[in-house]
Amino acid sequence: MELEPFVFRHEGVLVGMRSQTEADGTENEVNRFSLRPLSRTEYAVFTLDLCHNQVDRHFSRFPDEELAAINGMTPGRPLMERHDLRGTLPRGTFFRSELYRDKDVLSVRPDVYVLRSNDNADFILNIEGGVYRETSIGFSFRTPECSICGRDLRTCDHVPGRMYGDVVCHYVMRDVLEVIEGSVVSSGSQGTGFVAQQRHLGLPQALDAARRGFHEPVELWSKRMWADE
């Protein structure tokens, strides 16, 4: 039985504002995504720390190899506001990304450009003024691997956040399929958890629903069975 991939969100933080200089190639890299050449005064550039390899408050963790995959998928993806994919259009575009290491912490740090348009003026001002400080990345991945038994979390009985012996259970996010978007959010990714069939669920409810679906019996039928009735 092949399980559906999870669509998930993972919070990060704004690192800072980056000046546009010829030395670091910003203008050329931005213009790879624009339909006409943009001058350095037409956009603002920000650096975002989207995700890392540490266990987070939702008891999830990226292994280093998945961060490398995310790093390669991020350029060209949109920057949104509050993960609002239906109500608003993108605010900016990620145009490059790098892996950043600080001791044991490895993170994905992309640069995003935001046009200095009238519509974006308040958005940029809130970032520059430190009001919008946190970020979140939307992505899909195939397998939540249990840190206790190594199995798919939907097929075992362990619960992230619970103690088993002297170890706290978490899940490792394996097989990232797609980076959907990145978002600037005002107060973190509240309510972050698994999404089953595009419905937002808390971790316990999402895990219970996924496990119920996995253990449901499979019914087999054929044309001959229908013909005999």
Reported as a single tens digit per residue, the pLDDT across 151-203 is 999 899 999 999 999 999 999 999 999 999 988 875 543 222 222 233 334 45
In percent, how much of the chain has pLDDT > 70? 68
Residue 130 within a domain: yes
Q: What pTM does this model have?
A: 0.74
Residue 23 within a domain: yes
Residue 21 within a domain: yes
Question: Which residues are bridge partners to 111 per DSSP?
Answer: 47, 96
Q: Positive or negative, the Cα torsion across 37, 38, 40, 44?
A: negative
Residue 1 within a domain: no
- Beta carbons of 191 and 159 less than 8 angstroms apart: no
Report the pLDDT averaged over residues 69-86: 88
Report the phi/psi class of residue 149: left, alpha or beta, with left for phi > 0 and alpha for psi in -120 to 50: alpha
In percent, how much of the chain has pLDDT > 90? 49
Residue 154 within a domain: yes
Asked if residue 120 has pLDDT above 60, the reply is yes
Asked if residue 226 has pLDDT above 90, the reply is no
Domain range for 112 = 6-228
* pLDDT of res. 11: 55
**Count of structural domains within the chain:** 1
